[in-house]
Amino acid sequence: MTMRARSCLSFLFPLLCIAAAAGQHAASPTPEGRPQANPPSRTIQLNVVVSTQSGAHVAGLQQKDFTVLDNNVPQTITSFRALTGSQEPVEVLLLLDAVNTPYEAVARERVGVDKFLRANNGRLAYPTQLVISTDKGVQLERGFSLDGNALAPVADHAMTGLRMDPLSTGVYGAMQRFQTSINAFHQVTTYAATLPGRKLILWISPGWPLFSGPDVQINGAEQKSFFELIVSISTQLRQADITVYNVNPWGAAEPMEQTFRYEEFLNRVTSPKGIRAANLGLQVIATHNGGLVLSSRDISGLLARCVADAGAYYKLSFESPPTERESVYHPLNVTIAEPGLTARTSTGYYAQP
């Protein structure tokens, strides 16, 4: 094992703790008073965004227009609702990433976030809360507000704090950013899971480091732990009605091969074998979760595009087929009867007995 590969193991231990904590089932008392784990529900609920080839959202469809394929097998839709953002609670968490955003992009980010918050005379579509992720941890800025004009100076002041001392450079610095980012992701999603209704996490960041290659090796036990963490994240986001979006402030300034590198790791993880740390990339999580991965200097426009997902969408459910093993991956596909329309939702889930 190389020194780099050996040092890579140091950031795995916090992840194991996260996976263990997140993977615990809620307990309820038995008649004898002893705690007993609640069996996982087999109901799979999905948020589906339907759009035209030009990207415009499509409203007004009916249940008969949708086909849900689970492992390429059509499923019976057991519930269906066509929704707008005013029909159920929607909260937006606007996250500013001080761990992975380079100093050169901060000024552009400040302008874009300010423009987004002050658009429409500062009237935000949904209650929004600012979140700051730094090497010191996650900081929630005040509470939720519909007043973008009030949030704008708070965001500007918070982003002034992004001019922090950089973390270590090289592979060790990248490992540190990876660990810090995964911990922050866990904290933010755990908080979001306590909120009512649908939650949109708009993570403004180039993403955390994508570890792969011969210098980053993990053994069988560590692969198992990574797999459990991926299953836990996927399940939590779906059950808590959270959608993750990645807004990259670099835009055209970032080399194209770097912007789209995450696509190498989009093949869904079905077992611990062959798993890589890059399978936990922010862009990978957002794509599998049914969110968007966007990169442009027009940060305000990208944020507005993400929030528009809550303006018209469909919430449907079906019953997962029974399985005898834990964490069996089921790919999902939702198709629309009308030609020219596409559906975006979670790409799959992990079935439990």
Question: Is residue 141 included in any domain, yes or no?
Answer: yes
**Whether 186 and 281 share a structural domain:** yes
- Residue 212: the pLDDT is 73
> Can you give the CATH number for the domain in which 145 is found?
3.40.50.410
Q: Is there a contact between 207 and 244 (Cβ–Cβ < 8 Å)?
A: no
**Whether 79 and 141 share a structural domain:** no
Question: Is residue 236 included in any domain, yes or no?
Answer: yes
- Residue 253: the pLDDT is 62
**Whether 52 and 147 share a structural domain:** no
**Whether 124 and 194 share a structural domain:** yes
Mean pLDDT of 207-211: 88
**Whether 149 and 264 share a structural domain:** yes
- Residue 311: the pLDDT is 95
Question: Is residue 7 included in any domain, yes or no?
Answer: no
Question: Is residue 75 included in any domain, yes or no?
Answer: yes
**Whether 49 and 103 share a structural domain:** no
Question: Is residue 2 included in any domain, yes or no?
Answer: no
**Whether 171 and 320 share a structural domain:** no
**Whether 167 and 208 share a structural domain:** yes
Higher per-residue confidence, 25 vs 51: 51
Fill in the DSSP letter of residue 300. Answer: H
- Residue 37: the pLDDT is 42
**Whether 150 and 221 share a structural domain:** yes
Number of domains in the chain: 2
> By residue range, what is the domain housing residue 50?
44-84+312-353
Number of neighbouring beta carbons within 10 Å of residue 266: 13
- Residue 29: the pLDDT is 36
**Whether 72 and 135 share a structural domain:** no
- Residue 215: the pLDDT is 65
| pLDDT tens column, 78-109 | 999 999 878 899 999 999 998 888 877 888 88
E strand map for the chain: 27-29, 35-37, 43-51, 66-70, 73-75, 79-83, 90-97, 123-134, 137-147, 198-204, 242-248, 293-295, 313-319, 328-336, 342-344, 348-351
Question: Is residue 56 included in any domain, yes or no?
Answer: yes
Question: Is the confidence at residue 245, as pLDDT, over 70?
Answer: yes
| pLDDT tens column, 162-183 | 554 445 567 777 888 888 999 9
| pLDDT tens column, 311-320 | 999 999 999 9
**Whether 325 and 217 share a structural domain:** no
Average model confidence (pLDDT) for the chain? 86
- Residue 85: the pLDDT is 79
Q: At 268, which amino acid appears?
A: R
